Amino acid sequence: MVKAGRPIPGNEHNLPTPAKRLDRGDTGPPGPRGVRGEEGGIGRPGKLGPQGLEGPKGEKGAPGQKGSQGSEGIGGGGAVYVRWGRTSCDEGSGTVTVYSGMAGGAWYSHKGGGSNYQCLPADPEWGWHKDGLQNSRETYMYGAEYEIAADSPYDANTIHDRNVPCAVCHNPSRRTQLMIPARKTCPGGWTREYGGYLMTGHHDHSRTEFVCMDGGPEVLPGGEGDQDGALFYVVEARCGSLPCPPYVEGRELTCVVCTV
Residue 168 lies in a domain: yes
Q: Widest CA span of the chain, in angstroms? A: 172
pLDDT of 211 reads: 95
pLDDT of residue 3 exceeding 50, the answer is: no
Any residues with CB less than 8 A from the CB of 26 and at least 6 apart, and which? Answer: none
Domain count, the chain: 1
Residue 41 lies in a domain: no
Q: Which domain holds residue 231?
A: 79-122+138-259
20 located within any domain: no
If one counts every other C-beta atom within 10 angstroms of the C-beta of residue 174, the result is: 21
Supply the pLDDT for residue 222: 80
Residue 31 lies in a domain: no
* Whether pLDDT at 103 is above 50: yes
Residue 50, domain member (yes or no): no
Q: Is the pLDDT of residue 16 over 70?
A: no
Beta carbons of 112 and 139 less than 8 angstroms apart: yes
Among 191, 189, 181, residue whose Cα is nearest residue 95: 191
Model confidence pLDDT, tens digit, residues 40-89: 777 777 777 777 787 787 788 787 777 665 445 445 689 999 999 999 99
pLDDT at 13: 55
Radius of gyration of the CA atoms of the chain, in A? 50
105 vs 15: which has the higher pLDDT = 105
Give the pLDDT band (50/70/90) at residue 2: very low
Q: Is the pLDDT confidence value at 256 over 50? A: yes
DSSP state of 236: B
Provide the strand spans (E) within the chain. Answer: 79-84, 96-105, 118-121, 142-146, 165-171, 177-181, 191-200, 211-214, 230-234, 254-259
pLDDT at position 252 over 90 = yes
Domain assignment present for 182:
yes
Number of Cβ within a 10 Å radius of residue 116: 11
What is residue 25's predicted lDDT score, i.e. its pLDDT?
A: 74
pLDDT over threshold 60, residue 121:
yes
At 71 the pLDDT is 47
pLDDT at position 101 over 70: yes
Question: Does residue 99 surpass a pLDDT of 90?
Answer: yes
Q: Which residues contact 195 (CB under 8 A, 6 or more apart)?
A: 184, 212, 214, 215, 254, 255, 256, 257
The per-residue pLDDT for range 187-242, each reduced to its tens digit, is 999 999 999 999 999 888 888 899 999 999 999 988 777 888 889 999 999 999 99
Report the C-alpha gap between 230 and 144 in whole angstroms. 4
Q: Does a structural domain hold residue 248?
A: yes
pTM above 0.85, yes or no: no
Mean pLDDT of the chain: 84
Angstrom CA distances, 67 to 50, 63, 70, 74, stand at 42, 11, 9, 21
Q: Is residue 35 part of a domain?
A: no
**pLDDT, position 11:** 52
Supply the pLDDT for residue 76. Answer: 60
Cα angle value 188/192/193 (rounded, 5°)? 155
Q: Which pLDDT belongs to residue 43?
A: 73
Q: Which amino acid is at 151?
A: D
Q: Is the pLDDT of residue 134 over 80?
A: no
